Structure 1
Amino acid sequence: MGQAQAKPQPKKRVLVVGAGAAGTACAWSLSRFPGRFEVEVWEALPVPGGVASSCTVKDGQHVINDQVQGGAPSYRHNLRLLELFGFKPTPVMMRIAFGVGDKQWTNHSPSELTSRLQPEIARFGRVLRWISRLEPIFVFVPIDRVLRWLRFSDDFRYQMVFPLVALFFGTGNQTPHVSAAVISRVFLDPHLRLFDYCPQRLLNSVPEMFAFPVLEEVWATIARKSDFKLCCSRPLARLRRLPGGGVMATDTAGVTASFDEVVYGCDAETVLRTMENPTWLERRLLRNVRYYTDFCLTHEDAAYMAEMYDMRPGTKQQQQQQQPQGQRQEQWAEQRQEQQGRQQQQEEQRCGKDNYFVRTYGGADRDKIEMSFNLSTYQPHLQEADLDIYQTYYLDAQNRHLWSDSKVDPSKVLASRWMRQFAHTWTHFAFWVPWVRFIQGTRHTWYCGSYTMVNTQEIAVISGLAAAERLGADYPFAHDPLAAQQFDTFMAVVHGRRRRRPTTAAAKSD
């Protein structure tokens, strides 16, 4: 008798809820193994990408990326995906302007504020190192409390630390409540930080970042070239996990389909709204993810920007601090100033205008901010247009009485958008992030998205690949040491598991 042949294993049917960065990354990774997975993605919006979205402005003449903008060179998973599907990011020299008047400072020139606060800036570096050494303790302590305990000034806290962290990690007006351990990593972690800490000015470099190409094209291309079924404009209405295994999903049109596994690649609020039978632990943990409503205006109101922000901060102060002193030097001071002016003009032509602007409210609300971007300075599809298109973000609708959106000329508004953003408070890192591992895989249900850790596009992509890895799809970027290290860290924190070794089965090439 011949040797009995093993029965082929049936394909595992997987539903991915949400075609944002996390959901699409998960679906793509699973689709590399078409003999093992049959993947379907349900997306509520008419196009994939989620918050990584694009829109047209000025009667369709120009396209902009209107939420996600770009990233750091350490965003290895995003860069690898772009490369894999034929896209090229655009290098950007990141120039930021904080505050106005005597409260202004930048990452590219000296200012009165940084000179005055230099002793506190130096002391802050020592505090960060102590927080890093005692991270298991400080993960439960808000950064504002630490800075108050150690008697840091209001100007240092509200004009420097909080606006900086809010800008780069999307923490918004909740920044004072962010875990001190997270703030330490922002400045010291070699794989997370965006700037090198400077004991004289806090920041003193213009780092090279990258801007994404048109994001709608990126995610649409990934979906089109991958072996999974994308169902746009198909919101999930309810999902029931069956006692014998598997799930039943129903869309808003009442159409029902069955799957073996479900991956939630959407926000925690959607999970709680659509899941009919969550466990006690799922319900308890998912409710610990808190959301706030923000508002974004895309406009070309240069007068509003000039009123609200210092559009070219630091130049005058920089020249004053560099101006020669003494009787002998006064003879050529004017010549020196003219030379500096020419050098400054050349520098502006080389590096361009400031990209990011942050303003802090006054009085009792000095812990809250607004921020604006000049999209034309770094989005590659706008740089040749010879115009300035701005985006201004107004944070937390509960504080709408503070917003300055009414000062924007309505005739110069190009687009508007309401958004839900999760809060990076210390409770997020104490009562959600360390515990999400215990609900991963519960009743064939998996969770991915930036809310599983921190609000970055890189974490979103990593989280989707991690969910796919748990389902059996080998990690695709093991050849990139930095990417693999970041992935392994995420797996340890959010899944409590190590990465599996690759299987012998070859993945389908794209």
Structure 2
Amino acid sequence: MFSGKRERVAVVGGGAAGLGAAWRLAEKYEVTIYEAEAELGGNAYAHTFDDTDVQVDMGVMITLPWAYPNLYCMFQKYGIETRAAAATLLVSFPDPEDPTKELTWSTDSPVPGAGFFGEYLEAEASRFEQMMFEIAALPLNEQMLPIARFLDAPYPGVPHSGRYTPRFLTQGLCPLLSLFLVTRDSLLRTPAWSLSMMFRFGTLSFFSPTTWRTITGGTREYIARLTRSFRARRLVSTKVVGVKRSGREVRVRDERGGEEVYDHVVLATAANVALRLLGEGASADERRVLGMYTYQPAVAYLHADPSLLSARFGPGFFFQYRSENPTPGPALDGVMTYSMKDAAGLQGYDGPVLVSVFSERPPKEPTPCFARREFSHLIADDVALKARMEMHKLQGHDRTWFCGDYTTFSSHEDAFTSGMVIGEAFGVDYPFREHPAALFRYTQNRVMMMPRLGVRTRVGLGVRLELLRDTLAVAWPQLRAKLRPRRHDGGAVVEI
């Protein structure tokens, strides 16, 4: 499938995944990036604030060195600086007995046994965080079950599972998860593995704020430095409307009627967009796997409207979840608001600098609304996880490759890393092997994305052996769990 000449590769989508792929591919290939928007970056979007030259992030706002090791290796390589930002969460609901009053809790070191959190949520929150460590000891296929399976009833081998109250789930757990999983729907269908990892590594906690980091100059700064580091043709404001494949070439057609021929195409878009671009030419497997993913639209406002804030919200809080419903359900109906003033370095601005997501109305006049941005968020439920486990079957067929957060673990780190996996599939070396944490995270992505044993790729023998090792490492615990004798004890299944 690969020839000796410098082949032409089209990368459709200029977000983190597409840029990660283009960055690596440009070492050996002639790369063209297609981006429908006026600038590269995708969800890593920053808006120039008011009449300043300050960039305020509206999509990717916070990062974590230990959770985003490949991004931080790239930041170090290109001198991209970050600064600390305590991600303190405030949650607010009306009091059912008196809607004029608020019931609030926060991750800002709640006093044991005090207030709304201490009375209604603390005991279950403590038990839940213990359960996150217990889930990590299960076979991988059981860790991949929806978290709801561990909440409603006891689960064998997980002592702190079951008997979680609706109040804890809707006023405690779901608002906390919204800090990282920006969606309203299916939060409790998130794979338990994902949540276990977040709580075990300190990404989320009920009991203390996480020290996240923001990018100095906004995400636009890292996009600019990364794209300056490699040669590629960049076609911004160029929406691709179709990809037609044959055994020898790929034709990419844009909305203005232009069509170009490439040797390969990398679809670095959302799964539903990739499927739409392939159209009638999509294979049965492509239609089945890509069709399993679902997305939820969202609108973000950059504004200065304080009416969206709780009366308790003030200095020290970074994120707020506020609902006007005293009895919310698991599909969250509140507004998520980020205070971006300190993160963007706008302390001298007279007024709040806020980004709100899922507001049912624009910010109130006369307070200014500086920008409006539409996003599409992947619903990272168990169905999406099953689709991810089959993505390796699609890669490389008919000169087509796929990358993006939906192909791996749904974070900005994983979107960027998925692009590097595609680069390695084309024979371009992974650049951060000397960094253990980055290599480990990269390997996790690769084992999900790369065709088994490196078929249809240009990887060398060493990488093929790594792929064999990693595939066996994933498959063996699942096989062992299936073969292990089990007995029933009082209605529960117990492993022997």
Which bin holds the TM-score, normalised by the shorter protein?
Answer: 0.7 to 0.9
Please state if 1:426 is matched with 2:428. no
**Residue in 1 that maps onto 2:107:** 106
Q: Residues 53 and 219 of structure 1: is their aligned pair in 2 closer, same or farther, counting only changes over 3 Å?
A: same
- Confirm or deny that 1:41 pairs with 2:33: yes
Choose the corresponding residue for 1:186, options 194, 198, 213: 198
In the TM superposition, what is the alpha-carbon distance from 1:206 to its structure 2 partner? 4.3
Name the CA distance, whole Å, in 2 between partners of 1:497 and 1:93. Answer: 41
Q: What CA deviation, in whole Å up to 9, does each residue of 1:471-496 have, x standing for no partner?
A: 11100111211101110111112225
Percent of aligned pairs with the same residue? 22
Q: Post-superposition shift, 1:451?
A: 1.6
Counterpart selection for 1:15 from 10, 13, 30: 10
Q: 1:442 aligns with which of 377, 397, 402?
A: 397
Match of 2:172 among 154, 160, 176: 160
Question: Could you list the per-position Cα deviations for residues 206-243 of structure 1 after superposition, in whole angstroms to 9, with x for gaps in the alignment?
Answer: 42433353322432332233111111112112111113
Following superposition, the deviation at residue 442 of structure 1 comes to 1.2
Question: Residue 118 of structure 1: CA displacement?
Answer: 3.2
Q: Distance in 2 between matches of 1:451 and 1:80?
A: 22
Cα distance change of structure 1 residues 79 and 364 upon mapping to structure 2, 3 Å threshold: closer
Are 2:385 and 1:376 equivalent residues in the alignment? no
1:254 aligns with one of 240, 254, 257: 257
Give the whole-Å Cα distance in 1 for the aligned partners of 2:305 and 2:14. 33
Question: Which amino acid in structure 1 is aligned with residue 225 of structure 2?
Answer: T
Q: 1:383 to 1:86 in 2, by over 3 A?
A: farther
Post-superposition offset of 1:135: 4.6
Counterpart selection for 2:441 from 473, 483, 486: 486
Whichever residue aligns with residue 313 of structure 2, its letter is M
Asked whether the equivalents of residues 41 and 220 of structure 2 are also in contact (C-alpha less than 8 Å), the reply is yes
2:88–2:106: 8 Å Cα contact kept in structure 1?
A: no
> Measured at CA, do residues 502 and 167 of structure 1 come closer, stay the same or move farther in structure 2, by a change above 3 Å?
farther
**What is the Cα deviation at residue 52 of structure 1?**
0.6
Q: Structure 1 CA distance, aligned partners of 2:418 and 2:362? A: 38
CA distance in 1, matches of 2:14, 2:271: 15
| The structure with more radius of gyration | 1
From 36, 40, 46, the equivalent of 1:54 is 46
Q: Deviations over 1:401-447 (max 9, x none)?
A: xx5526733543222222211111121112x1111111011111111
Correspondence list, 1:190-269, <5 A:
190=201, 193-195=202-204, 202-243=206-247, 245-269=248-272
Report Cα offsets for 1:117-157 as digits up to 9, x if no partner: 33323322343233222254545543234312212112221
Contact 1:355 1:375 in 2 (8 A): yes
Say whether the 8 Å CA contact 1:474–1:502 is kept in structure 2. Answer: no
Q: Choose between structure 1 and 2: higher helix proportion.
A: 1
Structure 1: which 4+ aligned runs deviate by more than 6 Å? none
> Which residue in the other structure is 1:334 paired with?
none
Gaps in structure 1 of 5+ consecutive residues = 1-7, 313-351, 395-402, 504-510
Unaligned 5+ segments in structure 2 are 94-101, 154-161, 463-496
- Give how far 1:278 is off: 1.0
Residue pair 1:12, 1:38 contacting (<8 A) in 2 also: yes
Separation of aligned partners in 2, 1:498 and 1:59: 54
Is this contact kept in 2: 1:474–1:501, CA < 8 A?
no
RMSD over equivalenced CA pairs, Å:
2.5
Distance 2:354 2:53 in 1: 16
